[in-house]
Amino acid sequence: MKKTVLFEKLGFFSLGLAGLLVLSVLIWIIGDIFVHGASVISWEFLTQSPREGMTQGGILPAIIGTFLVSLITIILAVPLGMFSAIYLNEYAHQGPLVRFIRLSIRNLSGVPSIVYGLFGVALFVRFFHLGASILSAGMTLGLLTLPWTITASEEALKTVPKSFRDGALALGATKWQAIRTNVLPYAIPGMLTGAILGLARAAGETAPILFTGAAFFVPFLPKSLFDQFMALPYHLYILATQHQDIARVRPIAYGTGLVLIALIIGLNGIAVFIRYQYRKKARMAS
């Protein structure tokens, strides 16, 4: 009997160790980037362009580039994701078509990011003649984000009780009026959370923008959406592997990594905060 108790203790202990290992991996990743990157961060680093073959100066063009591309991503992915979710959750009847749509969504979320890159080259850069540009890269990332925004929006719609819809319909509202006045207002915070999480994912992606618009070095800030651009993740890739003096730019690479991680964790934090506020409000209302 004693042996089984010891065995159980050992078993649970090793499971706990696995949990501890996962925690320490994250601490190691963030810690290493923070320790080596923090000393580089300064006001100049965030507000100046790279100088002298990227060995000096800051990363402003990369920050602006990532911001602009993310903007295009959001403009494309959020409305389309919302509309798809509204169809799936409010209008569609269960059947082969809906099952096929859901299968497509799940599969799209598993398509490798480099394949989205190839698709972006073939569709936006070549077929629509948008060239390698902010617009092409943003739309490629928008397609990549779409499965996430659809899923998040649908989950938000599901949290709205059926009685909200029934109440409006019973008063003579049409289906769309019921959705617009009694469903969407309550689902918007959840959709927003999903949109921000999707954005955080897109902002960190490198492979899809490699050939759709990201540039090694652009001496000026982008003037239109048809310009090439610098982006934080691509800049880190360049500094880590393609620069002719890798050892000398290592601190700048660490600084870029830190800004990128801070941006993504910051976006995640905002999403979690919105979700928290919204749940608190929902709890108080019910």
Partner 1 sequence: MPNLTSKTPSHDPSGMIRRWRRLQDKLIHRFFQLNGLLSILILLGIFFLLFADGFPAVKHLGFQAFLTMIWNPTSFVKATYGLGAMIISTMMVTLGAMVLAVPIGLACAAYLAEVAPSWIREILKPVIEILAGIPSVVLGFLGIVVIGPAIATIFHLPNGLNAINGSILLAVMSLPTIISISEDAISSVPRTYKEASLALGATHWQTLIKVVVPSALSGIIASIMLGMGRAIGETMTVLMATGNALKTPHSIFDSVRPMTSTIAIELGEVPFGSDHYHGLFVVGFILFVMTFIVNLIADMVLAKYQEVER
In the range 111-130, which residues lie near partner 1 by CB under 8 A? 111-119, 121-123, 126-127
| CB 104, min distance to partner 1, A | 4
Looking at residues 62 to 81 of the shown chain, list those that interact with partner 1 (rule: CB under 8 A). Answer: 80
CA distance 67 to 266: 14
Binding to partner 1 by CB under 8 A, coded x per residue (else -) over 151-190, reads -----------------------xxx--------------
For position 87 contacting partner 1 by CB under 8 A, the verdict is: yes
For position 12 contacting partner 1 by CB under 8 A, the verdict is: yes
Look-up of token digits 């709205």: 160
| CB 74, min distance to partner 1, A | 17
Is the CB of residue 196 less than 8 Å from the CB of residue 270? yes
CA distance 200 to 95: 34
For position 260 contacting partner 1 by CB under 8 A, the verdict is: yes
For position 22 contacting partner 1 by CB under 8 A, the verdict is: yes
| CB 71, min distance to partner 1, A | 18
- 3-state secondary structure string, 99-139? HHHHHHHHHHCCCCHHHHHHHHHHHHHHHCCCCCCHHHHHH
Closest CA to 271 of 172, 173, 148: 148
Helix/strand/coil for 229 = strand
Q: Taking the CA atoms of 201, 207, 208 and 210 in sequence, report the sign of the dihedral they define.
A: positive
Pick one of 46, 75, 170, 265: the residue that binds partner 1 (CB under 8 A).
265
For position 42 contacting partner 1 by CB under 8 A, the verdict is: no
Is the CB of residue 191 less than 8 Å from the CB of residue 278? no
Stretch that binds partner 1, among 14-22, 43-51, 133-141, 184-192 (CB under 8 A): 14-22
Q: Which contiguous run of DSSP H or E holds residue 19?
A: helix 2-37
| CB 118, min distance to partner 1, A | 4
Stretch that binds partner 1, among 40-48, 199-207, 219-227, 277-285 (CB under 8 A): 199-207
Stretch that binds partner 1, among 40-48, 56-64, 90-98, 161-169 (CB under 8 A): 90-98
Is the CB of residue 102 less than 8 Å from the CB of residue 171? no
Pick one of 45, 186, 229, 237: the residue that binds partner 1 (CB under 8 A).
237
Pick one of 40, 191, 196, 207: the residue that binds partner 1 (CB under 8 A).
207
Stretch that binds partner 1, among 67-75, 202-210, 222-230, 277-285 (CB under 8 A): 202-210
Is the CB of residue 91 less than 8 Å from the CB of residue 174? no
Pick one of 75, 103, 170, 282: the residue that binds partner 1 (CB under 8 A).
103
Closest CA to 282 of 103, 167, 159: 159
CA distance 275 to 89: 20
Given the complex with partner 1, which of 46 and 103 has the nearer CB atom? 103
